[in-house]
């Protein structure tokens, strides 16, 4: 007999990570109810057996919408590296998280999995890989997005202190299908596929298959410890190594020019703070370029050890990502 498991209320299901989580939940026989904003692009949840309810993170009546649910997956967040979006980031990521956690408490939600980010943790300055035990001072976090994710995570910690059962997950850089916007990493893949990437900067990231991130959320629900955070990551690679993998998978040549950091910094500054005043839409976010000056490497062994986080070969995730973009984005 194929009986349905408990019901999950999920935010952010129309986005990259959320769409993969929704599919993983359905595969594991959970019922899914998704909060979607008015006029959302619903392409990522098309034909899925999930219940859609319209609303936003700051709605006062969210508790009413969660009453028939057992658990909450709060995945939604506003992502922007543009300085002009500072207030929007705070309103959605911090106040929105505070509101939905308060509503979850009112609705009697048994456990919440909150999707933070490695962005909220920051990076160590020594040679040791950054793990969950480290926390960068908030003033050292580059840009308003990272700061907003830090403050949002503090809302989750505060809710735990006030008696809520919340597990925090911190994905690194997911790769895979349904990257609809796309993310900055997805943008790199699209640029690569369309021969629109003349060079690269010397930076590094921790990559993980987005399906492993989705599985990590479910494992956090099932096995995570209240109040703990778990980095959902896998392989640390330089951008050059990542592009080499892309080249092998696509049978295309990787860009050969390594740009010195000052070059994109100068372009981004001119774009965002000078030319934008004359009506030009900026193409490079200064905060994004500043981030690329750091090697954003992380240690995800805690999630592997305590949750059983899968570590799928990154090449498989890149291959699926390429195929998805070729079918959905690249013309």
Provide the strand spans (E) within 40-181. Answer: 51-54, 71-74, 111-115, 166-171, 173-175
Instruction: Please tell me the distance from the alpha carbon of residue 251 to that of residue 236, in angstroms, as a whole number.
Output: 23
Task: Tell me the average pLDDT of the chain.
Answer: 86
| HSE of 15, CA atoms in CB hemisphere, 13 A | 18
Confidence band, pLDDT 50/70/90 cuts, at residue 86: confident
262 Cβ contact partners less than 8 Å away, ≥ 6 residues apart: none
For the cut 50, the answer to whether the pLDDT of residue 262 exceeds it is no
Confidence band, pLDDT 50/70/90 cuts, at residue 103: very high
Of 116, 120, 114, 118, nearest in space to 147 by CA: 120
Find out if CATH 3.40.50.720 is the number for domain 7-175+209-234+299-304.
yes
**64 or 202: which carries more pLDDT confidence?**
64
For the cut 90, the answer to whether the pLDDT of residue 282 exceeds it is no
Q: With H, G, I as helix, E, B as strand and everything else as coil, classify residue 264.
A: helix
> What's residue 197's pLDDT?
74
Sign, CA dihedral 275-280-281-283, equals negative
Dump pLDDT digits (tens) for 136-159. Answer: 999 988 778 889 999 999 999 999
Confidence band, pLDDT 50/70/90 cuts, at residue 1: very low
Confidence band, pLDDT 50/70/90 cuts, at residue 218: very high
- The length of the chain is 331
Query: Taking residues 253-269, what's their average pLDDT?
Result: 51
> What's residue 84's pLDDT?
63
Output the six-digit token pair for 184.
């900055």
Confidence band, pLDDT 50/70/90 cuts, at residue 269: very low
> What's residue 80's pLDDT?
63
**304 or 88: which carries more pLDDT confidence?**
304
For the cut 70, the answer to whether the pLDDT of residue 224 exceeds it is yes
> What's residue 148's pLDDT?
93
State pTM to two decimals: 0.89
The least confident of 65-69, 88-92, 151-155 is: 88-92
- 71-74 and 111-115 beta bridge pairing: parallel
């Amino acid at each position: 007999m194929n009986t349905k498991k408990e019901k999950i209320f999920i935010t952010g299901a129309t986005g990259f990570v959320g769409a993969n989580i929704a599919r993983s939940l359905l595969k594991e026989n959970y019922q899914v109810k998704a909060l979607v904003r008015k006029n959302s692009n619903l392409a990522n949840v098309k034909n899925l057996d999930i219940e859609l309810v319209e609303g936003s993170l700051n709605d006062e009546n969210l508790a009413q919408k969660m009453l028939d649910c057992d658990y909450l997956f709060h995945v939604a967040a506003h992502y922007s590296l543009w300085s002009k979006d500072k207030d929007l980031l705070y309103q959605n990521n911090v106040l929105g998280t505070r509101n939905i956690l308060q509503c979850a408490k009112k609705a009697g939600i048994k456990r919440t999995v909150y999707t933070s980010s490695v962005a909220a943790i920051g990076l160590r300055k020594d040679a040791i890989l950054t793990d969950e035990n480290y926390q960068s001072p908030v003033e050292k976090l580059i840009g308003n997005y990272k700061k907003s994710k830090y403050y949002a995570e503090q809302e989750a910690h505060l809710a735990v202190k006030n008696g809520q059962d919340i597990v925090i997950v911190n994905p690194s850089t997911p790769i895979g299908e349904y990257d609809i916007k796309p993310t900055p990493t997805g943008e790199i893949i699209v640029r690569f596929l369309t021969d629109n990437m003349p060079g690269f900067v010397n930076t590094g990231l921790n990559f993980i298959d987005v399906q492993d991130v989705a599985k990590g959320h479910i494992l956090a629900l099932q096995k995570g410890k209240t109040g703990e955070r778990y980095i959902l990551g896998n392989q640390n690679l330089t951008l050059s190594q990542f592009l080499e993998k892309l080249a092998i998978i696509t049978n295309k040549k990787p860009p050969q020019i390594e740009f010195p950091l000052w070059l994109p910094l100068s372009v981004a500054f001119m774009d965002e703070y000078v030319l934008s005043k004359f009506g030009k839409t900026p193409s490079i976010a200064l905060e994004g370029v500043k981030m690329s000056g750091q090697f954003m490497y992380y240690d995800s062994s805690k999630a592997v050890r305590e949750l059983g986080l899968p570590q799928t070969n990154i090449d498989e995730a890149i291959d699926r990502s390429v195929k998805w973009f070729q079918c959905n984005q690249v013309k």
